[in-house]
Amino acid sequence: MSLCSHITSSPAWARPLATLACVGVCASGGTLVNGLVADVASAQLGGGALDQELNGARPSREVPGLDRIGVNEHLDDTLPLDLEFQDQDGNDVTLGSLFARDNEDRDKPVLFILAYHSCPTLCSMVQDAAVAGIQGQEWTLGDQYRAITVSIDPKDTPASATAKRDELIAKYAEARGDNAEERASLTAKAESGWTFLVGDDDAIEELTTAIGFRYFYNANQEQYAHPAVIMFATPEGKLARYLYGLAFDPQDVRFALLEASEGRSITTGEHFLLYCYAYDPEANGYSLLAMRVMRIGGALTALALGSFLAVLWIRERRRSPSNALSKDGSSGSSETTDLPSSDPTSDRAPESLGSQVIS
């Protein structure tokens, strides 16, 4: 069994090292040099400019071409949307036709994958890991987001693209659907939302350069040596996030999609999550921002206290007018006792008294 086949079963902390070892095998013609894993124990995927390299690692024997494999992130850069490719159905399309710039119906974030269809190990593992990362999402492929896979091998054809696409969509629907009806619905949506593209050398080279995806062709093995990475793009085609490895945490995939959506059609709760989490390059995933959580907690505490004080103030205001009215009423009654009586008999008494005085 090959080294690469063990990567997904490795502990999470060991996957970056195993991935580098696997890439080293591909680059060196299939032979793992002695001590490579030990010597790259301090190597990190990411950090700084997030360049996937052996930062200072010293293998026992030089691995040819390993420095040609990696990723230079171009966050917020727009993909070359005028590039022309063929989709899985053999139709000539521009990259822009799959984004909102040229098609209003494509106003959704995009999962973007670079791979090739005859890859015996790494590409299939990356794409399988991407499927595992999206199958547990609340969002549905084809509804809230789209996916694009572009082959880096100019010899790939629409027929090979169709075969690979059907295979991955079947895995996605089978893992997510609980019954035949759900699986059929998921398959139909995924077929409308996942596009596979093939192209010529020039188009592939321009696209991979724009993304910062560094790879090369190993003629001895007749394989491409390349990094394990997936990207996320905004509906306008801007690169929003890179995720690395051969296992993608569904939570990281969710946050990357939310980030790439740029706030479009997401709930208040999702806005809240996006505010509280941010991408951590050292952890190669999204981490909770304690300071932001503390700010939100402080704001909620202040709001609760303010609401409590407001209720007390309103109650006190409501009581004050009633107290004033009761005081006014009591004083008024005392004043009325001093007024002359309106009794008719009392009115006649002064007249009779006056008549007696006059007489």
Residue 328 pLDDT exceeds 60: no
Backbone angles phi, psi at 54, to 5 degrees: -85, 75
Task: Give Cβ neighbours of residue 293 (< 8 Å, ≥ 6 apart).
Answer: 276
**Which letter does DSSP use for residue 42 in this model?**
T
CA dihedral 164, 168, 171, 173 (to 10 degrees): -120
Average pLDDT, the chain: 73
The predicted-structure confidence for 151-177, as pLDDT tens digits, reads as follows: 999 999 999 999 999 999 999 999 999
Backbone angles phi, psi at 245, to 5 degrees: 115, -170
Comparing 237 with 17, which gets the higher pLDDT?
Answer: 237
Written as six digits, the tokens of 101 are: 């710039």
pLDDT for 298 equals 53
pLDDT for 320 equals 67
Tell me, what amino acid is at 287?
S
Q: Give the Cα separation of 23 and 12 in Å (integer).
A: 17
pLDDT for 9 equals 45
Beta strands of 81-138 (E only): which ranges? 84-87, 92-94, 110-115
Tell me, what amino acid is at 190?
A
Q: How confident is the model at residue 72 (pLDDT cuts 50, 70, 90)?
A: very high
CA angle 278-280-281, nearest 5°?
Answer: 140
Provide mean pLDDT across the span 288-301. Answer: 51
pLDDT for 329 equals 53
Comparing 10 with 48, which gets the higher pLDDT?
Answer: 10
CA-to-CA dists, residue 70 to 43, 49, 227, 229, 284, angstroms: 13, 11, 6, 9, 15
pLDDT for 74 equals 96
- Map tokens 């009215």 to a residue: 325
Provide mean pLDDT across the span 177-197. Answer: 96
Task: Give Cβ neighbours of residue 267 (< 8 Å, ≥ 6 apart).
Answer: none
Q: Give the Cα separation of 242 and 251 in Å (integer).
A: 14
Q: Give the Cα separation of 139 and 145 in Å (integer).
A: 7
Provide mean pLDDT across the span 299-323. Answer: 69
Lowest mean pLDDT among 27-36, 197-206, 294-303: 27-36
- Per residue in 96-126, is it b (16+ CB within 10 Å) or e — as a string? bbbbbbeeeebebbbbbbbbbbebebbbbbb
Provide mean pLDDT across the span 234-248. Answer: 92
Q: How confident is the model at residue 227 (pLDDT cuts 50, 70, 90)?
A: very high
Residue pair 279/241 in contact by the 8 Å Cβ criterion: yes
Report the candidate in 121, 129, 118 with the shortest Cα–Cα distance to residue 152.
118
The predicted-structure confidence for 81-127, as pLDDT tens digits, reads as follows: 999 999 999 999 999 999 988 777 788 999 999 999 988 778 889 99
Residue 143 pLDDT exceeds 70: yes
Task: Give Cβ neighbours of residue 235 (< 8 Å, ≥ 6 apart).
Answer: 99, 100, 106, 107, 108, 109, 110, 261, 262, 264
Q: What fold does the segment set 3-293 form as a domain?
A: Glutaredoxin (3.40.30)
Q: Give the Cα separation of 214 and 30 in Å (integer).
A: 19
Provide mean pLDDT across the span 175-187. Answer: 94
Give percent of the chain above pLDDT 70.
58
What pTM does this model have? 0.64
- Map tokens 């479009």 to a residue: 264
The predicted-structure confidence for 255-281, as pLDDT tens digits, reads as follows: 899 889 875 444 444 444 444 555 566
pLDDT for 11 equals 46
Provide mean pLDDT across the span 291-304. Answer: 55
Residue 305 pLDDT exceeds 80: no
CA atoms 27, 30, 34, 39: torsion sign: positive
- Per residue in 220-244, is it b (16+ CB within 10 Å) or e — as a string? eeebbbbbbbbbbbbbbbbbbbbbb
pLDDT for 327 equals 54
Residue 286 pLDDT exceeds 90: no
Residue 248 pLDDT exceeds 60: yes
Comparing 140 with 328, which gets the higher pLDDT?
Answer: 140
Polymer length in residues for the chain: 359
Residue pair 36/27 in contact by the 8 Å Cβ criterion: no
Residue 246 pLDDT exceeds 60: yes
Q: How confident is the model at residue 284 (pLDDT cuts 50, 70, 90)?
A: low
